Amino acid sequence: MANKPRFVSSLGSINKYFADTKKNVFSYSELVGVLESKRVQWALPQSMYPDKFINQLINKANFKEVEVAFEGLGSKTVYTINEPAITEIAASLFLKSYLSHYSAVNILGLTEQIPKTVYITQEQSKKPLASIEISRRSLTQESIDAAFKKPQRVSDIRALLNGYELVLLKGKNTSNAGVRSIGEGGAVRITDVERTLIDIAVRPSYSGGVFEALKAYRIANQLGNVSINKLLGYLNKMDFIYPYHQAIGFYLERAGGYKESQIQKFRDIKKELKFYLAYDMREMDYSEEWKLFVPKGL
């Protein structure tokens, strides 16, 4: 009787290793790393190159190859086991990325909806300080009015997978402020509650719209897990040119339930220019207190 192939002989150890990682999604480079670190222990021959190793995982260890084709970017390929959730797949597609906006709202339990879009943020490199200061000095009421009377620019890097739309956002560099890992093995990186409340105020169109954003602020307070000091700390670190503190203060007040002392922290920040809660609003009300245009009836 012929000897068993070495991969088959070590299959029990291989399956146990992957089970112990608590991960369900792996990149090509991760599997190459596993092969090189475990080749001797699993008695795998030098002739077993990475592609052959991965084919064996697919054929004998219940792995699947998942290819995700993004418009304007090309395809990303990962390898899965144990039928991972769409969020775990999405969180594994791009290096140093994390789930944000409506996806974070959903995972954190801040909505009653079941979004069919998954938002993945990959931060851009830092901009030169000189460039930021030029943008800050050139900010005028006229420039704000002109920008927010137009539709918001949206990402066109999108893909469809298992009935979901995946959207890649090229986010502002924040040095991963408020990003944490969740799930077994820390498989999914998402924004925490405070960072999420900032993100949905900045880009409500990636968060189900302003009414869903307001609901998220309300539910976050009901759950009792919002630190206003932490939120302010993130906001200062992110150092936006636009006065998003006016939008956040409005959401905190309109949501109801937040302490006056918490809202006051945002009232105390200077409001030099009128601002907008969202882009391209057709009918608006104006909040004198927050110097903020909001959708009529909000």
| 273-295 pLDDT tens trace | 999 999 999 999 999 999 999 99
Q: What tens digit of pLDDT does each residue of 51-65 get?
A: 999 999 999 999 999
Question: Taken in order 272, 171, 223, 211, is the CA torsion positive or negative?
Answer: positive
Give the separation between CA 137 and CA 131, rounded to whole angstroms: 10
pLDDT in tens, 128-163: 776 777 777 889 999 999 999 999 999 999 999 999
Predicted confidence (pLDDT) per residue in 62-94, tens digit? 999 999 999 989 999 999 999 999 999 999 999
Rounded to whole angstroms, how far apart are CA atoms 105 and 289? 27
State the pTM of this model.
0.93
pLDDT value of residue 1: 40
With both helix axes pointing from N to C terminus, report the angle between 193-202 and 244-255 in degrees, rounded to the nearest 10.
110
Residue 3, pLDDT score: 61
Express each pLDDT in 98-137 by its tens digit.
999 999 999 999 999 999 999 999 999 887 776 777 777 8
pLDDT average, residue stretch 231-241: 96
